[in-house]
Amino acid sequence: MAERKRVLVTGASKGIGRALLDRLSADGYSVVGLARSRPDGLSEGQTFHACDLTDFETTRSLIQRLAAEQPFYGLVNNAAMAPIKSIDDTTIDDMQAAVQLNLNASLICTQAVLPGMRKLGAGRIVNLSSRAALGKINRGAYSATKAGIVGISRTWALELARDQITVNVVAPGPTATELFNMASRPGEDPRTTALLASIPVGRIGKPEEIAHAIAFLLDPRAGYMTGQTLYVDGGLTVGNVYL
């Protein structure tokens, strides 16, 4: 029996990452999750390793060891953090913390899987950005790093195209995850209330819907799409929403 394609997902303990573990294992992938805390209820085809992704040397060593056992065909850089501060209150430490997890950890994980992808002769990398990359009040550090994800992904797409490794971005809008609820305080913050009311489809997104978009970009048949950003946001980016 042919070996199942292997995909690495960061930030896999909850939210979009947890939904993605279930989606990809149902699609027949062998899925490895990384996050600080272990999720409950892992099923067949899912393995998990507790890891602080901002400990770069440990992260690199772990992924290299796993890739030596079997190369990764796919990587989803999903882990992120979102400081909630105005421009007046944002500190250099806030910026550095966001850069460390949202950008630098993605670089470390990507570098660690590339030798195996090149050996396979194909690969899929999906990086998670956000609609907040277009601007969102009190999210300066988060917006900056999520915009950075788009830029770095376009560059990586160019660098890796000849290796048949695609690099694309999924940028979710408001989605019912723990991170969104913590950062936006639905029902409390009037800006969040106004934002949710402005979603053209009339509802907040589900983690499973974001996982579906990621799964599309991981598919072997998606090899002609690279360097692109796919907004999954209920139509928010169709019009001008300044909230």
Residue 195 belongs to domain with CATH number? 3.40.50.720
What the block records as the tokens of 236 is 């928010």
1 within domain boundaries: no
188, part of any domain: yes
Least confident of 56-60, 161-165, 193-197: 193-197
Q: Count how many domains the chain has.
A: 1
Quick one: pLDDT at residue 242?
Answer: 47
Q: Give the structural domain span for 71.
A: 6-232
State residue 1's pLDDT score.
44
Residue at 237 is within a domain: no
Q: Is residue 241 part of a domain?
A: no
Which of 29, 73, 142, 231 is labelled catalytic?
142
- Determine, yes or no, domain membership for 135: yes
Say if 38 falls within a structural domain.
yes
The answer to whether residue 115 sits within a structural domain is yes
Could you tell me the pTM of the whole model? 0.92
> Active site includes 142?
yes
Q: Cα separation of 220 and 193, whole Å?
A: 39
The yes-or-no verdict on residue 10 having pLDDT over 90 is: yes
Q: In this structure, is residue 187 part of a structural domain? A: yes
pLDDT at 2: 65
Contacts 24+ apart (CB under 8 A), 118-123: 118/163, 118/165, 119/71, 120/71, 120/73, 121/163, 121/164, 122/73, 122/164, 122/165, 122/220, 122/223, 123/72, 123/73, 123/74, 123/75, 123/160, 123/163, 123/164, 123/165, 123/166
